[in-house]
Amino acid sequence: MQNSGIEVLFEGSNFERLLGGLLVTIEISFVSIVIGTVLGIVMGLLRTLNVKPLQALLRLYLEAFRIIPILVWLYVVHFSFTPLLNIDISGETTSILVFSLWGAAEIGDIVRGALQSMPKHQEESGAALGLSRGQLYRYILIPQAIRRMVPGAINLATRMIKTTSLVVLIGVIEVVKIGQQIIELGVIKAPTASFWVYGFIFILYFAVCFPLSRISRRVERRWQN
Amino acid sequence: MRKGMKWAVSFMAAGLLLAGLTACGNSDNKDNSAGSASSKFASIEQLKKDGKVRIGVFADKPPFGYVDADGKNQGFDVYIAKRFAKDLLGDESKAEFVLVDAASRVAYLESNKVDIIMANFTVTDERKEKVDFANPYMKLSFGIVSPDSAPVTSIDQLKEKGQKLIVAKGTTAETYFTKEYPDIELLKFDQYTEIFAALKDGRGAAIANDNTELIAWAKSNPGFTVSIPAFGGQDTIAPAVAKGNTELLNWINTELETIGKEQFIHQAYNDTLNEVYGEGYTDELVVEGGKVE
């Protein structure tokens, strides 16, 4: 019997399960991106202020997320911190927590970088016009900084979406794990299933990440001048 | 330069702080379990009140624990786990299956995120220090599977240069080879899916794992044979609970005796393992009533 393996995608409720897994992936990454962006903007603004202890603290926070792998964060938070504090949260909540904090750290750095890259004369011209510090940020610096933030932020968003494949290790069943379940079940009947399942997962990730790249390009072009 | 040093020092300090925190956490946990066990684990009464028992099972290890095409948990471990839930809480649907990975089984029990692990958990001395095992329901040895074109018929063959042995991280096979054959080069993967893919791609000469797993896989993958069916002594597979959870442990042991009288594990074998291993292996694999003869 010729069995190409592609049928495995449509067996039982496999197709819906894969899409359901994708939904988990999307949920974790998008909620985290939104929370991370809000916190990150606040953090970026704080980091442009010249307060030494605050600077050190925020820098430490950023480096902690940059240096320690996200996998380690997930593991430590899920299996050590939360049980230690006697909180029982689901793997999904842990994932959103860790990804949000990671997002906040990285977005904070992107915001800081964008603000500090503004030519000094922008700030000085604004001050010469008699704008207060708040007005300076609101009307001159932030609108221009946002334009510079877009590529970095979109890059981070796509990275986060792809990194959700790690959450399986704390028991969250997302799209890649469901794919592996289907492959393992199919091993007996269709040994080539892995090609089709991973191929399909590739298309799913592409379908989520590609629009983000397009939006990024469009936004950049629109704000060019 | 000096500024760089300063940063490096503060990060190290932060790292130590973090390590200290987690270390404290662990000792705190131990104190808790020693002092007031009842507050840490749900008592059987509590499980009955909640109407659910959380059981950690595999999701990608047929025929022991897997998810079928309709998204339902199936397999040998799951079959027995369902019976536990039925006898404990009156209904097998009250088992809440938590899907675990080989490497995180101990962590799930230690952090009290499951009540019982029924994920083909091999009993070892190292694991006994961290979790409490009930009596076994299955026994097995290690096996080695290799391609027919280049069969590995003795372990010494693997000592030759360039002969990589594939294992899954966190399994007893990994520990065994690291300890007994440190000169064999190991190729390690996190997921079971990956070790079989690696053998098919020719990234290693053979896979070492529990023999059951390999007999089943080789049977459905022509071109591969279990070239060494059994070595490394006999191991048993048992349900595990969190360290100190004696109430649940005792219940499981009594339950295994009770269902042993009706040869329930044989029935589980017939319904879940027969088509994979064939009838010939029943007595080699099944442990009835929690007692190994």
CB nearest B69 (choices: A63, A84, A185): A185
CB contact under 8 A, A80 and B217: no
Q: Are residues B145 and B190 in the same domain?
A: yes
pLDDT given for residue A216 in this prediction: 85
Query: Distance (Å, rounded) from C-alpha A145 to C-alpha A125?
Result: 16
Please identify which residue in the block is written with the tokens 């029924």.
B118
C-alpha atoms less than 13 angstroms from C-alpha of B268 in its C-beta half-sphere: 27
Q: Does A71 touch chain B (CB under 8 A)?
A: no
Report angle CA B208, B214, B215 to the nearest 5 degrees: 140
Q: In sequence order, what are the residues at sequence separation of 6 or more whose Cβ sits closer than 8 angstroms to the Cβ of residue B8?
A: none
Residue B34 lies in a domain: no
Inter-CA distances, B50 with B42, B44, B95, B98, Å: 9, 10, 11, 16
DSSP symbol at A1: -
* pLDDT per residue as tens digits for the range B71-120: 889 999 999 999 999 999 999 899 999 989 888 899 999 888 899 999 99
Q: Are residues B91 and B206 in the same domain?
A: no
CB contact under 8 A, A13 and B69: yes
CB contact under 8 A, B25 and A187: no
ipTM of the complex: 0.72
Residue B23 lies in a domain: no
Q: Are residues B70 and B206 in the same domain?
A: no
Q: Are residues B220 and B145 in the same domain?
A: yes
Domain ranges of chain A: 6-222
B59 neighbourhood in chain A, CB within 8 Å: 173, 177, 181
Q: Are residues B133 and B243 in the same domain?
A: yes
Residue B224 lies in a domain: yes
- Average pLDDT for residues B186-207, to the nearest whole number? 92
User: Is the pLDDT confidence value at B22 over 70?
Assistant: no
C-alpha atoms less than 13 angstroms from C-alpha of B85 in its C-beta half-sphere: 24
Query: Distance (Å, rounded) from C-alpha B30 to C-alpha B3?
Result: 41
CATH code for position B85? 3.40.190.10
Residue A195 banded pLDDT, cuts 50, 70, 90:
confident
A79 neighbourhood in chain B, CB within 8 Å: 104, 107-108, 110-111, 113
User: Is the pLDDT confidence value at A192 over 60?
Assistant: yes
Query: Hey, is B59 helix, strand or coil?
Result: coil
Please report which helix (H) or strand (E) contains residue B224, including its range.
Answer: strand B224-237
Q: Are residues B85 and B45 in the same domain?
A: yes
Q: Are residues B124 and B260 in the same domain?
A: yes
CB nearest B70 (choices: A12, A75, A178): A12
Whether the Cβ atoms of residue B88 and residue B43 lie closer than 8 Å to each other: no
- Please report, to the nearest 10 degrees, the dihedral formed by the alpha carbons of residues B83, B71, B59, B290 taken in order: 10
Q: Are residues B149 and B129 in the same domain?
A: no
* pLDDT per residue as tens digits for the range A117-174: 888 888 889 889 999 888 988 888 888 888 888 889 999 999 999 999 999 888 888 8
Q: Are residues B152 and B228 in the same domain?
A: yes
Q: Are residues B86 and B224 in the same domain?
A: no
Residue B9 banded pLDDT, cuts 50, 70, 90:
low
Please identify which residue in the block is written with the tokens 């503004």.
A118
Query: Distance (Å, rounded) from C-alpha A48 to C-alpha A45?
Result: 5
Range with the lowest mean pLDDT among B2-6, B26-30, B269-273?
B26-30
Q: Are residues B164 and B227 in the same domain?
A: yes
Nearest CA in chain B to A166: B190
Q: What is the total count of domains within chain B? A: 2
- Can you give the residue range of the structural domain that contains B132? 40-137+238-282
Q: Are residues B54 and B117 in the same domain?
A: yes
pLDDT given for residue B43 in this prediction: 87
pLDDT over 70 for what percent of chain B?
84
Residue B7 lies in a domain: no
B111 neighbourhood in chain A, CB within 8 Å: 78-80, 82-83
Chain B interface, best mutation among A79, A88, A192, by max B CB count within 10 A: A79
Inter-CA distances, B258 with A7, B78, B179, B254, Å: 43, 18, 38, 6
Structural fold of domain A6-222: MetI-like fold (1.10.3720)
Query: Distance (Å, rounded) from C-alpha B287 to C-alpha B139?
Result: 7
